[in-house]
Structure 1
Amino acid sequence: MSRRSHAERRAESAQRLLAACVELIAEQGFERTTAVEIGERAGYSRSMVSVRYGSKEGLLQSLFDSEIKQRLLPDHQLTGLAWVLGHLDHAVTLLELDRDLAKAFCVLIFEGVGGIPSVREWYAGWMVDYEAALVQHLTEGQRDGEIDPGLDPVQEAEQIVSYGLGICFRWTIDSENYDFAGAIRRWRQRLAARYRPDPSGPAVTPAAGATAARPRRSSRSSTGRP
Structure 2
Amino acid sequence: MRSEQPSLAPRAPRTQEQRRAQTRAALLAAAAELVVESGVRALTLARVGERAGYSRGIVTHHFGSKQAMFEALAKSSQSGFVPGIGDMPPGLERLVALADGYVRELGRDDVAGRAFLLLWAESATAPELSLIFRERDEAFRADLRADVTAGVADGTIRADSDPGDVAAAVLGQLRGIGLQRLLDPAAVDAQRLGRALAVQWRRALSA
| TM band (smaller chain) | 0.7 to 0.9
Contact 1:95–1:181 under 8 Å retained in 2? no
Report the alpha carbon displacement of residue 141 of structure 1 after superposing the two structures with TM: 0.9
Report the alpha carbon displacement of residue 177 of structure 1 after superposing the two structures with TM: 4.3
Change (3 A) 1:175 1:47: farther
Which residue of structure 1 aligns with residue 94 of structure 2? 83
1:61 maps to 2:53: no
Aligned residues: 195
Contact 2:67–2:129 under 8 Å retained in 1? no
Per-residue Cα deviation, 1:3-50 (whole angstroms, up to 9, x for no partner): 544433322211111111122223333222222221122122354322
Which residue of structure 1 aligns with residue 145 of structure 2? 135
Selected match of 2:125 from 111, 114, 117:
114
Unaligned runs of 5+ in 2: 1-9
Per-residue Cα deviation, 1:68-100 (whole angstroms, up to 9, x for no partner): 353246224421112212322442464466711
Distance in 2 between the 1:29 and 1:185 partners? 31
Amino acid at match of 2:102: A
Which residue of structure 2 aligns with residue 70 of structure 1? 79
Distance in 2 between the 1:168 and 1:98 partners? 10
Distance in 2 between the 1:154 and 1:145 partners? 18
Distance in 1 between the 2:61 and 2:67 partners? 13
Contact 2:24–2:62 under 8 Å retained in 1? yes
Contact 1:83–1:137 under 8 Å retained in 2? yes
Report the alpha carbon displacement of residue 191 of structure 1 after superposing the two structures with TM: 1.0
Which residue of structure 1 aligns with residue 115 of structure 2? 104
Structure holding more helix per residue: 2
Q: Sequence identity, in percent?
A: 27
Contact 2:180–2:187 under 8 Å retained in 1? no
Selected match of 1:165 from 161, 168, 175:
175
Report the alpha carbon displacement of residue 123 of structure 1 after superposing the two structures with TM: 1.4
Report the alpha carbon displacement of residue 110 of structure 1 after superposing the two structures with TM: 0.5
Mean Cα displacement is larger for which, 103-112 or 27-36?
27-36
Distance in 2 between the 1:152 and 1:4 partners? 50
Amino acid at match of 1:14: R
Q: Which has the higher contact order (CA 8 A, sep 6+)?
A: 2
Which residue of structure 1 aligns with residue 3 of structure 2? none
TM-score for both structures, normalised by structure 2: 0.78
Per-residue Cα deviation, 1:132-181 (whole angstroms, up to 9, x for no partner): 33233212212222123343333322221222232122123223543344
Q: RMSD of the alignment, in Å? A: 2.7
